[in-house]
Structure 1
């Protein structure tokens, strides 16, 4: 009795060449903490400081604060993070786990550290939660399309 084992050629093997990428929302998390503890002296009220004013057609000026600017940058990070979750490589599980760890870090800091008690930090934490939920949902949907059951 003999067994035959088929080994596919090297060229047909799918490989995740992109490798591991850290969760992108770690950058707004780090920026918030660095700026709050260095430039604002641990006071979250500094995120309300105006950065610049844009005159609008209506005649009312639009004042953009430091917090607004950080939130816009974070939304772009969230967008690319959701796009990144469509990959089904070997590193995607690790990336989802690190996104969950980042959300837990946001939550713990929000609850325990006074400098994180601001609307800006809360919205960053909500973005991290959306990243975790959307990442798992998109990954499961993408992976289920690769599997067929008859």
Structure 2
């Protein structure tokens, strides 16, 4: 059952918590971006400069890791995962609606997360279609 859960919903939920902390329509995108730009930690680098990590950076890194895991899941389970593909499509639609209609979601970070959900949906359907094609080609070989 856990493999059906779209893992990209984790960074979406994190962004929702940050963006909707002050109410759905009361926070402007600028406020949310400013909140996500706050420094969580800084790491001194060998070059002498400091690497600053913000909460938005952490959400983006989580999203990148989750999309990687989602692509592995799509490659492993293929076409037998219609419900997971449907849930991923629903997550993309939710992200798109939030991005277009709620001011707090009009940020580059959330747009990147939305595009990751789209890539996950497209990759899942393409991998499922490829496996169907390979299976049907394999069936023809057995008929000869």
Report TM bin, short chain: 0.7 to 0.9
**In structure 2, distance between residues paired with 1:107 and 1:137:** 21
Partners of 2:78 and 2:58 in 1: how far apart?
32
How many residues in Structure 1 have an aligned counterpart in Structure 2? 132
Q: Which 5+ residue runs of structure 2 have no aligned equivalent? A: none
Q: For the residues of structure 1 that align with 2:37 and 2:21, how far apart are their CA atoms?
A: 16
Normalising by structure 2, we get a TM-score of 0.82
Q: Which runs of 4+ in 1 moved over 6 A?
A: none
**Helix, strand or coil at the partner of 1:59:** coil
Q: Hey, what does 2:59 align to over in structure 1?
A: 70
Structure ID, larger Rg: 1
Q: CA–CA distance in 2 between the matches of 1:49 and 1:99?
A: 30
What is the match of residue 14 of structure 1? none
Shift of 1:120: 0.9
Q: Which has the higher helix share?
A: 2
| Deviating more after overlay: 51-60 vs 18-27 | 18-27
> What is the aligned partner in structure 2 of residue 44 from structure 1?
32
Structure 1 residues 140 and 89, CA, compared in 2 at 3 Å: closer, same or farther? closer
Could you state the TM-score of these two structures normalised by the residue count of structure 1?
0.79
Cα-to-partner distance string for 1:63-97 (whole Å, 9 max, x where unaligned) = 0111111010111110111111121364x111111
Give me the whole-angstrom Cα distance separating, in 1, the residues matched to 2:119 and 2:49.
33
Over the aligned positions, Cα root-mean-square deviation in angstroms equals 2.1
| 2:8 counterpart (25, 36, 40) | 25
Which structure has more relative contact order (CA 8 Å, sep 6+)? It is: 2
